[in-house]
A and B are shown apart, each in its own frame.
Chain A
Amino acid sequence: MHTFAYARPATLAEAVALLAEHGAAARVLAGGTDLIIRLRDGTLVPDVVIDLKRIASLRPGVREEAGLVVIGATTVMTDVAADPLVRRHFPALADAAAVVGSVQIRNRATLGGNICNASPAADTAPPLLVYDATVVAEGPGGTRRIAVDDFFVRSGVTTLAGDEIVTAIELPLPALRMGAAHERRTRRRGHDLASVTLCCGVREDGVTRLSYGSVGPRPVLRVDETGILADPAAPAEARTNILEQLLADASPSPRSMRASPAYRLAMLRVLGRRALATALERLEARA
């Protein structure tokens, strides 16, 4: 590994100042499960690595405040998956966090790192999109809130500015009942990223939110407001048509070593139907 200067700021202000000072030559370190691999293979050679884990105000954890569940950016997947608030209100996010990598990876991998790394296959992205999450970022200009759908651009690229740090992810407590489910396909559990990762949420007012990743440059969110997908009694053909419309934004790369486009597109449909069925069951169970 190339050497670098290691900074361990105690406050967010210090961390932001370091980022502003070093610009593109600095890199933020959370759990390191993406970053340390890049440092070792030389695809990233920062002068300064800024470790977020000793910043007092960024202490990991989940809390409820003013109609929101707020997850600290440095909260690891193990804790997201086990958290009672997340499990009660956002079970598909808990399910997604629980299948990231292996136990060893989940004990380090943070929620903030998962979205900032912006892999199209990030498993927490589809549930965060379905649950309408907001990314909270801190920069020299203060705090900025970014709808998660406006956060992802393409693989490795987000709308976060170079001198901003993600401090939290906010999830609005649902005003309407919702049932949601996460599904994924991977070549080898514990090691590989998803070939398809998908989340479906159905609301009691008939709105269905469908989000999928690893089938294009960024995770996609599509919404059905006709009520047809949410209605198990609707004609099968009508439901299939809507599902096809929602899945039309998938454009898997033919160059991926993980799976062929044909396989991904076929699995997208299988997982889409499966997640929809589970989401409807969960909605029913919440009634």
Chain B
Amino acid sequence: MSAMAELFPIELTVNGRRRSLEVAVHHSLLDVLRDDLELTGTKECCLVGECGACTVAMNGQIVDSCLVLAVEADGAEITTVEGLAAGGRLSPLQQAFLDTGAVQCGFCTPGQLVAAADLLARNPRPSVPEIEEGLAGNLCRCGCYVQITEAVLAAAREADR
């Protein structure tokens, strides 16, 4: 096997925009989002699917983008944290994160937001245990779990008004 990386053409839709590119087959979706598409909101951290910092939605389902090869995303619709703010305005969920102090160092925030948005889409009025389960795949080393939970509850209330 040659040491040269095999290239593979893929097409995907990222935050509503169609993109065609050639990716190295051993590059993850995370690599391609950050390095090829320069969408650096999605964070690289543990690289073993435990921390959730690289969470994106793929065809409407959240995944750890470090555990998806970019070639596997051929044809997929991807939403990253950059896709949450419509028309340059923060979503109510993003605003709630700021208001409750759920954003401290901010490194886990993009993944938390994508996972929380997915939870609210599936379950608009989650209970605290449901929030804990929905966000169990997202670690916060600043320990803002209480504030993050509050933010999700606040965003759910906001949507109810």
Assess whether A101 is in contact with B137, with CB atoms less than 8 Å apart: yes
Contact of A105 among B3, B8, B49 (CB under 8 A): B49
Number of chain A residues close to chain B: CB under 8 A:
29
Encoded as 1 (CB less than 8 Å from any A CB) or 0, chain B from 93 to 128 comes to 000000000000000000000010011000000000
Determine how close the nearest CB of chain B comes to the CB of A279; give it in whole angstroms: 24
Chain A binder among B20-28, B33-41, B145-153: B20-28
**Chain A contact surface mostly:** loop
Cβ-Cβ contact count across A and B, 8 Å cutoff: 91
Assess whether B1 is in contact with A105, with CB atoms less than 8 Å apart: no
Assess whether B1 is in contact with A107, with CB atoms less than 8 Å apart: no
Assess whether A4 is in contact with B26, with CB atoms less than 8 Å apart: yes
* Residue A256 is within 8 A (CB to CB) of chain B in the complex: no
Nearest residue (CB) in A for B122 is A103
Determine how close the nearest CB of chain A comes to the CB of B91; give it in whole angstroms: 19
Assess whether B63 is in contact with A6, with CB atoms less than 8 Å apart: no
Nearest residue (CB) in A for B68 is A32
* Residue A63 is within 8 A (CB to CB) of chain B in the complex: no
- Residues in A with CB closer than 8 Å to B52 are 102, 104
Determine how close the nearest CB of chain B comes to the CB of A33; give it in whole angstroms: 6
Assess whether B69 is in contact with A6, with CB atoms less than 8 Å apart: yes
Assess whether A5 is in contact with B68, with CB atoms less than 8 Å apart: no
* Residue B4 is within 8 A (CB to CB) of chain A in the complex: yes
Contact of B49 among A2, A5, A39, A104 (CB under 8 A): A104
Contact of A107 among B28, B63, B134 (CB under 8 A): B63
Nearest residue (CB) in B for A31 is B67
* Residue B160 is within 8 A (CB to CB) of chain A in the complex: no
Binding site for B on A (CB under 8 A): 1-6, 8, 29, 32-33, 36-37, 39-40, 47, 49, 51, 53, 78, 101-105, 107-108, 189-191
Binding site for A on B (CB under 8 A): 1, 3-6, 8, 24-28, 47-50, 52, 55, 61-64, 66-69, 71-72, 115, 118-119, 133-134, 136-139
Known: A4-B26, A108-B64. 9 other contacts (CB 8 A): A3-B4, A4-B6, A29-B72, A32-B68, A39-B26, A101-B49, A105-B137, A189-B136, A190-B136
